[in-house]
Amino acid sequence: MQPDGSSFALPAFFVGPIPVYGTAVLSPMDGYSDLPFRSICRELGSAMSYSEFIGAIGILGGYPHLEDKLVYLPQEHPVVYQIFDNDPDRLLEAALHLEAGQIAPGYKPDIIDVNLGCSDRSVSNRGAGAGLLRTPHLIAEIFQKLTRHLHLPVTAKIRLGWDHASRNYLEVARILEDNGAALIAVHGRTRSQGYTGKADWDAIAEVVQAVSIPVLGNGDVRTVADMDRLKAHTGCAGVMIGRSAVANPWLFARLDRGQVALDQVRSTMYAHLQRNLDYFGPHLGLLRFRKNADTYLRPYSLFSELRHSLLTTTDVDQFKVLVEKVLSSPFIA
């Protein structure tokens, strides 16, 4: 039995030849989908592990701490490395380095994903991420090159377009399939929307109907019921969950936040904290974990009172004392 309540004696879907045993997937998120958090989500039921996005320039130029983004646990397979750039040749060279395991010896991805959805100005305004949606011919060239030269499946995560006047998601989806993409994840917003407004699930359904490769639907999935509704509404192969999973990783175990028992909150939080400390070291590990603690503890009544102390302490023991004070207060969400 899978955490989503289904029995997958057979894969839920395939990415090229790679079977995926589950229909809920943690979205790649810069600053969040690192090894400690990914591994927590995988244990709870996320079916694939996407890295944080990695710039091709950083891959080729030796970006500091790049290996931290590429290391994974054996149980995380299938592992997807997500890359971004606007230059087809640079993307290909970077992808070949990753495929060969040249950056982090002993670590190779199962899948390469090209980010066509990042709305951050520092990425999209230079023509990468969602900026590529304005140049469909470059998307075609990128996928021609990658699928011709890589032995791994190549996938994409897209938005609906640059803005409301240029919602070219169907054109982009067909270009991706025609040029060898093995899966498309669709965030149901445009670049100009960012994370505001309502995700357009009808558009995701149109993409599902337009292509024959698997589609993951993304956007406005906050509850278990939302997961089921998005799949039913769109016919997508799976659901990709981002910001809501940061607040409630137990979604992958099909639990809404109010259903998560106190002991589960405590054990998951401390497991996550310990993985951060082990992986990033005692100082950086705690600093990086504080943003996760912010979301784990937000539904408790004492959190607002103790928030500043919790999110500024640099002492692990003091941090745990403050966590226990918060967890002793009523759940209010």
Pair (250, 175) in one structural domain: yes
Give the H or E element holding residue 59. Answer: helix 56-61
Q: What is the DSSP string of 182-244?
A: S-EEEESS-TTTTT-S---HHHHHHHHHH-SS-EEEESS--SHHHHHHHHHHH--SEEEE-HH
CATH number at residue 211: 3.20.20.70
Write down the pLDDT at residue 20. Answer: 98
In a domain, 6, yes or no: no
Q: Is residue 179 part of a domain?
A: yes
CB 256 within 8 A of CB 222: no
- Residue 145 shares a structural domain with residue 253: yes
72 and 196 co-located in one domain: yes
Contact by Cβ (8 Å): 207, 175: no
Active-site hit among 35, 41, 118, 182: 118
In a domain, 1, yes or no: no
> In sequence order, which residues have a C-beta less than 8 Å from that of residue 143 and are 6 or more positions away?
114, 154, 156, 175, 176, 179, 180, 181
Which pTM does this prediction carry?
0.94
Domain that holds residue 124: 13-257
CA atoms within 13 A on the CB side of 188: 26
* 236 catalytic per annotation: no
Q: What is the pLDDT of residue 2?
A: 52
pLDDT, residue 3, reads: 47
Beta strands 184-187 and 111-116, pairing class: unpaired
What string of pLDDT tens digits covers the 333 residues of the chain? 454 444 557 899 999 999 999 999 999 999 999 999 999 999 999 999 999 999 999 999 977 789 889 999 999 999 999 999 999 999 999 999 999 998 888 999 999 999 999 999 999 999 999 999 999 999 999 999 999 999 999 999 999 999 999 999 999 999 999 999 999 999 999 999 999 999 999 999 999 999 999 999 999 999 999 999 999 999 999 999 999 999 999 999 999 999 999 999 999 999 999 999 999 999 999 999 999 999 999 999 999 999 999 999 999 999 999 999 999 999 987
- Cβ-count burial of 33 within 10 angstroms (0-12 exposed, 13-18 middle, 19+ buried)? buried
Provide the pLDDT for residue 64: 77
Q: Which helix (H) or strand (E) holds 44?
A: helix 35-44
Residue 119 and residue 181 in one domain: yes
CA 15, 225, 199: angle at the middle one, nearest 5? 70
The residue out of 205, 233, 257 marking a domain boundary is 257
How big is the CA angle at 271 (ends 266 and 272), to the nearest 5 degrees?
A: 100
Domains contained in the chain, number: 2
Helix %, strand %, coil % of the chain (to 5): 50, 15, 40
Residues 96 and 118 in one domain: yes
